[in-house]
Structure 1
């Protein structure tokens, strides 16, 4: 039987995009993957039956929908441009779903280049954990035309249970940074409050259970329990270095629009101190461990 589902390419295999590929393959889609570290692409291909492309251009050449998931703005610009870049491979009527957490101006700068090729770019950063990605329960924050979103909705619905659309390109990325500003400051507050409880004589697990049964019981607090309670067995959700990257993007956005961000300054300072102490490659929950080490007698 001929597969009439749209062909997909996934460029960038990270903690969230890996389970996306798994779900898309289970839904019957042909998927081609590309990653700057080829071994990572080969691993996901071996696990899912996806094909591997040697470049972003090759990944895009036969795809109807391209999902991009990269670490930062520099990686995004590198992947799109150049003779082997994504822009060289996309065809007319291709839709690019840009899920990377990047600056809004990076998105708006890419849009005209994509339009020149008869394709469309939707900024679609995702909100949620690795566990939610595996269950297809992410939230997509979409900036761009409704018609373009409608056209890819069957694919989006494999990955997300909530899709929030904003009118203009770049506004999905703005909203992702706004949400991350809240979540990452919340992570710092959880770390600080947990260490306060411990120092005052309350068992760590008991204190965290109280968090999850109180008004503080946000989903972020719920799914980070094991990382905070058993830090040496932490599942990697987001490295502290990536936390710092996102906070810098938030700061840039806030400065550009004149928004006061006193909490952001405090959180950035704490994160930078922990990175300077050599904790940048650990999960963001390591902030609690940093505070424990530096607690006064």
Structure 2
């Protein structure tokens, strides 16, 4: 069992830190909203700290799971960031969905201090975090990954080292690119079935087991048919992720026409006040057009 710090207790980080505590690790948490950290401590065996640096004091592993590049640099490299408190030989593991550039920057900053670094964004959403069945895409050195893998098992259904620092973030971009097209396709399919007069439940019960099947179809078709979008991964977060992918594509020359189009569709949902709805709310845009 290890001494760990977990920075960022959002819809993903809160249950992930909880899994670490239940696995028997000694967990100290920090969250910008202090009340949420207090609630975590009430629910789990652990401690809370006043700053990220305080949380990282003496920790073998420090986990971060925050909003974006700016948030990540604030909780890691500011005067009160975790790098100011981490000991030599410890390991920083970042679960934030961020840019590959910031991952490489943190890798360099960490190694200058004798600290290991892994960029390790996750997929599986809030349900996956709560169930401890996330997929983790990892970039960094193999020696650091081998140290981290047993600890990550607390909430991983699958995990894989994909290359040097930044590789995890690049893989998460691949994940979001694929999801964007899938959700738009599902939204159009649901819209079509509703206009066709078919029994949507019956149709999707059949086709989800064939070539058209996907996680999105299995888990979202019913809620979309019921016009429910109050759970899951928010449109605001998806747009942030897609912007990261589109920026990277401009750098590496990849052509992402469908991703760019779906990003604009999500912008339409935001403009109608749907930024906090989950990503399957692309259907609302089609219904509005109709």
Report the TM-score range of the alignment, normalised by the length of the smaller protein: over 0.9
Q: Does 1:292 align with 2:287?
A: yes
Match of 1:259 in 2: 254
Match of 2:24 in 1: 28
Report how far residue 226 of structure 1 moved. Answer: 4.3
- Listed as ranges, the matches of 1:81-230 within 5 Å are 81-230=77-226
User: In the TM superposition, what whole-angstrom CA distance separates every residue of 1:135-178 from its partner, at most 9, and x where no partner exists?
Assistant: 32211111111111111221011221311112211011101111
Report how far residue 211 of structure 1 moved. Answer: 4.1
Correspondent of 2:35 among 25, 39, 42? 39
Q: Distance in 2 between matches of 1:52 and 1:207?
A: 49
User: In the TM superposition, what whole-angstrom CA distance separates every residue of 1:54-100 from its partner, at most 9, and x where no partner exists?
Assistant: 11111111311011101111111111122211111111111111111
Q: Distance in 2 between matches of 1:159 and 1:40?
A: 20
Q: Does 1:65 align with 2:61?
A: yes
Q: Does 1:243 align with 2:238?
A: yes
Report how far residue 237 of structure 1 moved. Answer: 1.5
Q: Does 1:281 align with 2:249?
A: no
Any gaps of 5 or more consecutive residues in structure 1?
Answer: none
Q: Distance in 2 between matches of 1:47 and 1:146?
A: 34
Name the stretch that deviates more: 238-247 or 131-140.
Answer: 131-140
Q: Distance in 2 between matches of 1:134 and 1:274?
A: 27
Secondary structure of the equivalent of 2:138? strand
The TM-score, its normalising length taken from structure 2, stands at 0.95
Q: Is the Cα contact below 8 Å between 2:7 and 2:64 reproduced in 1?
A: yes
Report how far residue 287 of structure 1 moved. Answer: 1.4
Secondary structure of the equivalent of 1:278? coil
Q: Distance in 1 between matches of 2:97 and 2:181?
A: 17
Aligned residues: 290
Report how far residue 32 of structure 1 moved. Answer: 0.9
The TM-score, its normalising length taken from structure 1, stands at 0.93
Q: Is the Cα contact below 8 Å between 1:19 and 1:133 reproduced in 2?
A: yes
Report how far residue 219 of structure 1 moved. Answer: 2.1
Q: Distance in 2 between matches of 1:235 and 1:66?
A: 32
Q: Distance in 2 between matches of 1:85 and 1:118?
A: 16
Match of 1:268 in 2: 263
Q: Is the Cα contact below 8 Å between 1:15 and 1:237 reproduced in 2?
A: no
Q: Is the Cα contact below 8 Å between 1:143 and 1:165 reproduced in 2?
A: yes
Report how far residue 39 of structure 1 moved. Answer: 1.5
Q: Does 1:12 align with 2:11?
A: no
Report how far residue 50 of structure 1 moved. Answer: 2.3
Change (3 A) 1:219 1:46: same
